[in-house]
Amino acid sequence: MSTVNQIFPTPNALRLESVVNKLILSLHKKKTSILDSYKVTEMEVEIIAFLQEQEMQKMKEVGEHFNIKLSTLTSTIDKLEKNKLVKRKNSKEDRRVIYIRPTAKGISLLHDLEAYTRDMAEEVTNDMKPNDYAILLGGLEKMLKEIK
């Protein structure tokens, strides 16, 4: 018996659970296909997004931000650089300092993920009446508040 059914043994709760599960799986499947096409993990996308926000960061700062050991980060950056998603650059002042920045391909990955989310939201809301949209949004916001 599902958790939702134990708490709210009503058909509406079961239907909500089913729809939410299907929605999550569908969103995850599409996001995974984008990540797979770039050969990256979600954590690697987070690193690229962080680098884009900060423009260029030292390896040490990235490791500290994500609480990743430098050895682990080095292999992650090796992979991202091999896939042409980030670029390393040695400091002119101190060659031991290495900066990382996203490449055009790395930024393209972030844009593809953003476009997918935006397109999905537009597709869902295009056929909705304004009142239906407000009700949906209110319900989702209430669910989110309850989950937190």
Q: Find residue 100's DSSP bridge partners.
A: 57, 88
88 and 101 belong to one structural domain: yes
Residue 9's domain comprises 1-38
Judge if 28 and 45 occupy the same domain: no
Asked if 113 and 40 count as a contact pair (C-beta separation under 8 A), the reply is: no
Please name which of 82, 58, 54, 84 lies closest in space to residue 70, comparing C-alpha atoms: 58
Identity (one letter) of the amino acid at 83? N
CB atoms < 10 A from the CB of 144, how many?
Answer: 9
Q: Are residues 5 and 56 in the same domain?
A: no
Amino acid 35 reads: L
- For the chain, 148 residues long, the average pLDDT of each consecutive 10-residue run is 56 82 89 94 96 89 94 95 95 89 96 91 83 87 85
| Shared domain check, 24 and 2 | yes
The CATH number assigned to the domain holding 117 equals 1.10.10.10
pLDDT, residue 3, reads 58
Residue 16 confidence (pLDDT): 82
Structure pTM? Answer: 0.77
Q: 59 and 20: one domain?
A: no
Query: From edge to edge, which strands make up the β-sheet containing 57-58?
Result: 57-58, 98-102, 86-90
Q: Considering its fold, how many domains does the chain have in total?
A: 2
